[in-house]
Amino acid sequence: MRKYLEFSDQDLIALLKDDDPQAFTEIYERYIQFAYRTAYNILKDEDACMDIVQDVFVSLWKNRITIEILNPKGYLYTAVKFRMLNVIRNGKFREEVIYNIGNTNEQVSTFENNIEVKELKAFIDQVAETLPDTARKIFKMSRNEQLSHGEIADQLGISEKTVRNQINISLKKLRTSIAKFACLLFF
């Protein structure tokens, strides 16, 4: 029996291309946690992340003979990001992702994700600057100062319904802009 644990990634890819299921199993075991964390850092939904990761590995197995991979970790990172982009674009998590990133105060564990979060925050701020004055002020109070709708309404002397409507308008504008930015963010 071969000692797959000792094989380099390139050796495993070569064996995978030769239709070796144990090489696939070793790649899976080496990178399943990495792929999952990549998805979870954005979506924060265990089931959706596992579905995405499983789809990526199923695709890897199905295309094992024809696929050209130089770096399995880089390939899996890109494939997971692409699947997440599709999930977000299809709307299942779009609003949650925008809301969570707009409100995130937690430290991101990896350099790559830290840069992505900073880029997305900068993009959200840039889009927010194009909002009308009242909508921009309400959006910033909600997202940056973490104020509730009631607190914003009290401070601005407007109704909570107006606050809610302005935030919905802001999120709608963000949603239309985010699809364009998501392609840059995830690739």
Structure tokens at 41: 């850092």
Q: Long-range contacts of range 60-65, CB-CB < 8 Å, 24 or more positions apart?
A: 60/16, 60/24, 60/27, 61/24, 64/16, 64/17, 64/19, 64/24, 65/17, 65/19
- The model carries a pTM of 0.51
Structure tokens at 32: 């399943």
pLDDT digit string (tens) for 93-106?
545 555 554 444 44
Mean pLDDT over the full length of the chain: 79
94-186 under CATH 3.30.930.10, yes or no: no
Dist. CA 99–CA 129, nearest whole Å = 17
User: Which of the listed CATH numbers 1.10.10.10, 3.40.50.2300, 3.40.630.30, 1.10.1740.10 matches domain 6-89?
Assistant: 1.10.1740.10
Contact 175, 94 (CB under 8 A): yes
**Cα distances (angstroms) measured from residue 165 to each of 130, 134, 168, 176:** 17, 11, 5, 17
Question: Looking at residue 30, what is its pLDDT?
Answer: 94
| DSSP H or E run through 111 | helix 111-129
Domain ranges for the chain, please list them.
Answer: 6-89, 94-186
Residue whose pair of structure tokens reads 């909002």 in the numeric block:
131
Query: Would you state the pLDDT for residue 11?
Result: 92
Could you read off the pLDDT of 40-90 as tens digits, one per residue?
A: 888 888 888 999 999 999 999 999 988 888 888 888 988 898 888 878 776
Confidence (pLDDT) at 117: 55
* pLDDT score, position 106: 43
